[in-house]
Amino acid sequence: MPKIVYCSFCKRPIKPGEGVMYVRVDGTIERYCSSKCFKSAVKLHRNPRKTKWVVKST
Ligand SMILES: [Zn+2]
């Protein structure tokens, strides 16, 4: 049974088979719900707290 994974950027739950899996050089596995989150985190190095469309988890 696949466990629920959450987007490393916007913290939204990702359905099995969806999203992007990214492995950093240091071995850290990160999951992103969409290419939008992937690009924001990996290519643009955005801070989720400073990104307007990210739902705040308070
Ligand atoms: Zn996301």
Which pLDDT belongs to residue 34?
Answer: 92
Task: Tell me if 32 is assigned to some domain.
Answer: yes
Instruction: Please give the residue range of the domain that contains residue 29.
Output: 5-50
- For residue 26, give the CATH number of its domain: 2.30.170.20
Asked if residue 55 is part of any domain, the answer here is: no
Q: CB-based burial of residue 31 (10 Å sphere; 0-12 exposed, 13-18 middle, 19+ buried)?
A: middle
**48 and 37 Cβ atoms separated by less than 8 Å:** no
5 marked as part of a ligand binding site:
no
CA 7 to ligand 1 center in whole angstroms: 5
| 58 within a domain of the structure (yes/no) | no
Task: Quote the pLDDT of residue 57.
Answer: 60
Is 15 domain-assigned? yes
Q: What is the spatial distance between Cα 13 and Cα 43, in angstroms, rounded to a whole number?
A: 22
- Domain count for the chain, please give it: 1
Going by C-beta distance under 8 Å and a sequence separation of 6 or more, which residues neighbour residue 37? 7, 8, 9, 10, 20
State in Å: Cα 36 to ligand 1 middle: 7
In a domain, 37, yes or no: yes
User: According to the model, what pLDDT value does residue 32 have?
Assistant: 92
Name residues of the chain where pLDDT drops below 50.
none
Sign, CA torsion 45/34/55/14: negative
